[in-house]
């Protein structure tokens, strides 16, 4: 059974556009916040990765569905689950809910690269184990 990670936040004024609803690109910002916190939970924070390893995890694909408008002050929960794990990559699926209402969905695909060569490299065993637990 897949365990999931949930990040809770609220929509800020700077997340919205002139119409008063979430600006589309900010849904990606919010799911990226959830992604960063999940990596920290795994022991793979971005500062650690950038300064103490030879690895990096760029996003090579992202998609998002906006199902219900979000407004300033809306409290949302972003649930992250591992969708797939490959040799050099993995993907996450995100659901965004306001209360019990599904307001959005997203997916990101991440590829492990060597920081110096910028070429794909196998996922480190410790990260793979963390992803497999999730």
Catalytic residues: 17
Q: In what order do the strands lie in the sheet with 101-111?
A: 5-10, 75-85, 89-98, 101-111, 59-66
Q: Which is nearest to 108 in space by CA: 71, 72, 83, 74?
A: 83
């Amino acid at each position: 059974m897949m365990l999931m990670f949930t990040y809770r936040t609220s929509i800020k004024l700077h997340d919205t556009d002139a119409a008063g609803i979430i600006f589309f690109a900010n849904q990606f910002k919010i799911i990226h916040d959830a992604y960063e916190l999940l990596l920290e939970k795994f022991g793979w924070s971005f500062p650690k990765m950038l300064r103490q390893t030879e690895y990096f995890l760029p996003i090579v694909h992202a998609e998002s569905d906006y199902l219900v408008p979000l407004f300033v002050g809306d409290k949302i929960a972003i649930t992250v689950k591992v969708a797939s794990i490959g040799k050099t990559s993995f993907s996450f699926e995100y659901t965004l809910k306001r209360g019990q209402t599904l307001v959005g969905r997203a997916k990101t695909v991440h590829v492990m690269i060597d920081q110096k060569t910028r070429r794909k490299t196998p996922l480190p065993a410790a990260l793979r184990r963390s992803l497999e637990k999730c």
